[in-house]
Structure 1
Amino acid sequence: MANNFADLFEHAVDAMPDRTAVLQGERRVRFAELDARANRLADHLAASGIGAGAHVGFQMHNSVETMETLIACFKLAAVPININYRYGPAELAYVYDNADLDALVYHACYAEAVRAARSRVPRVRHALCVDDDTVRPAEDDAVPYESALADRPTARPSVPRGPDDLFMMYTGGTTGLPKGVMWRQEDMWRVLGGGIDFYTGEPVADEYQQSRIGAAGDPSTWFVLPPLIHAAAMMPTFTALWSGNAVIFQRRFDPEAVWAGVARHRPQVLVITGDAMARPLIDAYRRRPVDASSLLAIASGAALLSQAMKNTLLETFPAAVVSDSIGSSETGFGGIGFAQKDDDPARGPRVRTGRGAVVVDDDGRPVPPGAEGWLAKTGAVPLGYYKDPGKSERLFKSVDGARVVVTDDRARAEADGTVTLIGRGNMVVNTGGEKVFVEEVEGVLKANAQIYDAVVVGVPHERWGHQVAAVVAGAEPGPIDFGALEQHVRDHLAGYKVPKQIWVTDAIVRSPSGKPDYRWAAGHIAGRAPDHRSA
């Protein structure tokens, strides 16, 4: 089986050429049209020296052109590299250099930062700029995207492709430097692209099964809200396309526009990222309800939903299934859970594992039911970190002859085969010898009606080493009743887990994928007196 992402896409094109593939604003692009434009871009890139194994950065928000860029790269067996468009010039220059970019495709609104970063990294020899609603700087020397496609042939490139072709996803940056996680494309397809059925765990029969089944049924529409620079959006998008379904994109996450799109396009699936998207979506829906009866599934990935938001989603959209998935760039899909109302907000998210996810001890061996350990992954796992053999060796291990990825996530193996997530080991606050996982405290804080969003960090303490602290955003204007908030936390958690200092802010800063930016939180509280101190 070929199992290259481009092959899987072309199978869908051949089986369903006239179906709608992508919707963006007023644009509606058919599978055959998306394929033809990707072929034109691939021809331009090939003529510019981009071939198998070349690294092509895409610094782009969600758009038709973003998908064309990804597909064109895969058609050439080149490696698209996701570039966080929120980065400044110094961070961009680091990623451009670390990823060994040969070329870059970017939207015009990022041109100034791109120009500053490229001046520091001369190896990026070719650049394409995609027009948006921003006026390009006069000194921008990149090739205009549409000009690059003009008069190019629409025939598919004749390039050898295979399952070993590289897929790379840059991850991190909220707590440390970004790093590239390398996968074989077949392995990524297996764990996050439907190559293994998400619910039954059964591998598909062949590379044509998704397109074959898609062509035999009616298409659905998926509204993918997270940014395509994150696997939480890229892989659901490809999964949908490989099965002949349509995908809706927005340039930026705009809750009011999302509901307008739901009312207009009637999607069956809404892909979101945790509370960071769920809360503003609920707020916007309450302000201006629309007919959302088409929604059959609200699927969250990359950042878990708090119990409070699960309750709200289930109450607001009773006909929809609400799911939470665990995974990472280092593990792919690790398991899925379906929301139930009124679970204990202090209990970690519980999921039924899949794709070889297990809980292991410090030696990488499975723990018995009831025991805690590290969430790990066997089977289809990454090749390692790009240009970092030391980090790769620490994370990607061999246990009893089997390749295992041992993550920083603490988890507990349950007797019924599920796994309860406790928190990230690298985000733990050690206070007086007790370990506090920040996600646990964040979930309880956000379950209080006064709190809209929260990030928990550790602050130095002379006696205890560190204490638990929090930065919170209120749900309503006006002061927060800190006494009531503290009592709420104590009702669910031990006293040493209660935040001893709290800073109030207008909004919590998160990454484009919705994950908390802990570096921002640390900088926000530095040199600033807390709004509340606990006794």
Structure 2
Amino acid sequence: MNWSQLWDRVAAARPDAIAIESPGATRDYAELEDRASRLARAFADLGVGAGDTVGLFLYNRAEYLEAIYAAFKLGAIPVNMNFRYRAQELAELVSISRSRVLVAPSSLRTEVAGALELLRAATGDGEARPETAPALVEIDDGLAPDAGAAPEGALAYESLLRERYDGPDVRRGADQIHLFTGGTTGTPKAVIWQHGDLLDAQLVSLYGTGPAGALPDSVDAMVAIATDPDRPAPKMLPIAPLMHSSAMFNSMNTLTLGGTVVFLDNPRFDPAQVLRTIQDRRVTRTVIAGNAVSAPLVDELRRAAAGGEPYDVSSLDLIVSSGMAWTDESKAELLEHLSGALLFDIFGATEGGPFAYAFVRSPEDLPSRIVLAQGAVVLDEDGAELDRESGATGVLAYAGPKPLGYRDAPEQTARTYRRVGDRLYVAPGDYVRLLGGGRVEFLGRSSATVNTGGEKVYPAEVEDALRRHPDVTDAVVFGVADRRWGQAVAAVVAVRPGSTATAEELTGLVGDRLAGYKKPRRLVLVDSLERTPSGKADMRRMQALVESAG
């Protein structure tokens, strides 16, 4: 089943229930479905059909879910695009994803206009570009009144919601969702989920483990749960961006449960605003990005309590984090201000999973016990499943419902989605040690990707940006441990003798070309990297240089 068909059923069963709640846009289920239908009609009029892609260059807001819902109604594919991207990065992703329509807010006009200009032109070296850019649907968010005029041909979002979609219903469970992630060089690639497989993968997250037979076995049963008056509907605030699969899936799940998705009125992360919203809206669950969100929330909770005006966050019963470092220290600090909320740390990846969980409800649950999820296994070098009690080390894998693989990347698909005998596993490359009783210890990922604040940074693209400075002769970029962000981007840069280049100048150069989170937080200047004859840098020495520099 296509997810929008399920949401249609929920909307018909509880039309007056609130689906989306935010300062500027509150939608009940009937209104959400109606607006999605009208937007689907607009997308169809712009040439979007089953299998076509719609780019979402958006921060968290009501229109994000409306656009996903509208695309699903057509059997089309929404594409998550990082709203922190600069024009060059956005143009690349629009081109790679082959988006027919781009949905973006007016506050991001500068980057959108730059991307559209790049897409309409040929590069200096004659590299082919699409002859035409996608249709631009712009949301007036009022956050950048000085952003200038809308790009030529931009269509106002609200003006498009004129008529409901009345075309054929082509939806099916094999319809796709493309989640873009990065490759080892930073080039985005799409992980392909089918609607039916994703729904199967989310059943436990939706309905819990419970006793045998507790999971619903039909659409009717799912709708009955969503409309059950004795089952409180969740009110969920995604703090993490919807462009990340964890926040997106949790929002989709909330609509499936007949709950309410709560949005903030500003894309900038403001801990005080978050906590006021939890307090005033009586939010019951939220999605964060590990320490990067938890640590500032704790600081604000402490500040308010010390000032004699503590926040009331007693409504919270679940805090979810996925794909991001969330330390026991950070969890313990957060628990000081909570009353019974479950901290749910998911170890997953865009490529599939979940692979493992850690549940913490009180300080007595610390240190966190990371337990393999149902369907997760550990493989040895030959692909054989290791005994959970063996104490051995291997690669974490998942044998449950999973994506089809990467789009247009058969070799990468074969490496990550491994077939051993008659079983297909997804194994992104995390190494773990089995501790017995289903518990594991994470040892690290085999790739060099830096995961900072839930964002992936690929060293090659940052190194390329640094090398564009005329005084830079060499550069190496890597991740170092960071209390708040999990990892911080670090760089050791070799410059010409007599160069006056500074660390601040080079960091700014990266920021001019790439998203801000890709800028090195620690940068050390040296005369030479002293690479080996084979061209490799001594990474232990590089890390020591950064550590000694503070």
In structure 2, what is the equivalent of residue 127 of structure 1? 136
Matching residue's letter, 1:147: S
Q: 2:524, 2:546 within 8 Å by CA — same for their partners in 1?
A: no
Shift in Å at residue 520 of structure 1? 3.1
SS of the residue corresponding to residue 411 of structure 1 reads strand
Output the CA distance in 2 between the equivalents of 1:531 and 1:400: 45
Q: TM-score, normalised by structure 2?
A: 0.77
SS of the residue corresponding to residue 410 of structure 1 reads strand
SS of the residue corresponding to residue 429 of structure 2 reads strand
| 1:15-94 to 2 correspondences below 5 Å | 15-94=13-92
Shift in Å at residue 413 of structure 1? 2.4
In structure 1, what is the equivalent of residue 548 of structure 2? 533
Q: Does residue 381 of structure 2 align to residue 359 of structure 1?
A: no
Alpha-carbon displacement from aligned partner over 1:122-174 (angstroms, at most 9, x marks no partner): 4433110011112353251211111111x223x66532211110111001379
Q: Runs of 5+ in structure 2 lacking a partner? A: 120-129, 305-309, 451-477, 494-502, 528-543
| 1:411-450 to 2 correspondences below 5 Å | 411-427=432-448, 442=481, 446=483
Distance 1:104 1:454, change over 3 A: closer
Q: TM-score, normalised by structure 1?
A: 0.79
In structure 2, what is the equivalent of residue 205 of structure 1? 217
Output the CA distance in 1 between the equivalents of 2:114 and 2:36: 28
Output the CA distance in 2 between the equivalents of 1:297 and 1:188: 22
Shift in Å at residue 205 of structure 1? 0.7
Q: Runs of 5+ in structure 1 lacking a partner? A: 430-437, 447-451, 462-502
Distance 1:273 1:453, change over 3 A: closer
In structure 2, what is the equivalent of residue 489 of structure 1? none
Q: Does residue 169 of structure 2 align to residue 159 of structure 1?
A: yes
In structure 1, what is the equivalent of residue 194 of structure 2? 184
Q: Does residue 360 of structure 2 align to residue 341 of structure 1?
A: no
Q: 2:490, 2:523 within 8 Å by CA — same for their partners in 1?
A: no
Distance 1:401 1:267, change over 3 A: same
Output the CA distance in 1 between the equivalents of 2:288 and 2:32: 24
In structure 1, what is the equivalent of residue 401 of structure 2? 380
Output the CA distance in 1 between the equivalents of 2:207 and 2:431: 26
SS of the residue corresponding to residue 182 of structure 1 reads strand
| 1:475-494 to 2 correspondences below 5 Å | none
Shift in Å at residue 459 of structure 1? 7.7
Q: 2:492, 2:526 within 8 Å by CA — same for their partners in 1?
A: no
| 1:316-327 to 2 correspondences below 5 Å | 316-327=337-348
Distance 1:525 1:366, change over 3 A: farther
In structure 1, what is the equivalent of residue 227 of structure 2? 215
Output the CA distance in 1 between the equivalents of 2:188 and 2:290: 22
Distance 1:419 1:279, change over 3 A: same
Output the CA distance in 2 between the equivalents of 1:516 and 1:116: 17
Q: 1:190, 1:196 within 8 Å by CA — same for their partners in 2?
A: no
Output the CA distance in 1 between the equivalents of 2:10 and 2:157: 25
In structure 2, what is the equivalent of residue 114 of structure 1? 112
Shift in Å at residue 362 of structure 1? 2.1
Shift in Å at residue 74 of structure 1? 0.3
| 1:389-428 to 2 correspondences below 5 Å | 389-427=410-448
In structure 2, what is the equivalent of residue 472 of structure 1? none
SS of the residue corresponding to residue 208 of structure 1 reads helix
SS of the residue corresponding to residue 77 of structure 1 reads coil
Output the CA distance in 1 between the equivalents of 2:339 and 2:150: 53
Matching residue's letter, 1:43: R
Q: 1:58, 1:82 within 8 Å by CA — same for their partners in 2?
A: yes
Matching residue's letter, 2:81: I
Shift in Å at residue 199 of structure 1? 2.8
Distance 1:457 1:61, change over 3 A: closer
Q: 2:492, 2:523 within 8 Å by CA — same for their partners in 1?
A: no
Matching residue's letter, 1:218: P
In structure 2, what is the equivalent of residue 524 of structure 1? 523
Q: Does residue 157 of structure 2 align to residue 145 of structure 1?
A: yes
Number of residue pairs matched by the alignment:
462
Output the CA distance in 2 between the equivalents of 1:68 and 1:423: 37
Output the CA distance in 2 between the equivalents of 1:15 and 1:99: 35
Matching residue's letter, 1:242: T
Shift in Å at residue 218 of structure 1? 3.0
In structure 1, what is the equivalent of residue 537 of structure 2? none
In structure 2, what is the equivalent of residue 455 of structure 1? 487
Output the CA distance in 2 between the equivalents of 1:344 and 1:270: 21
In structure 1, what is the equivalent of residue 276 of structure 2? 260
In structure 1, what is the equivalent of residue 124 of structure 2? none
Q: 2:319, 2:344 within 8 Å by CA — same for their partners in 1?
A: yes
Identity across the alignment (%): 30
2:350 counterpart (329, 337, 340): 329
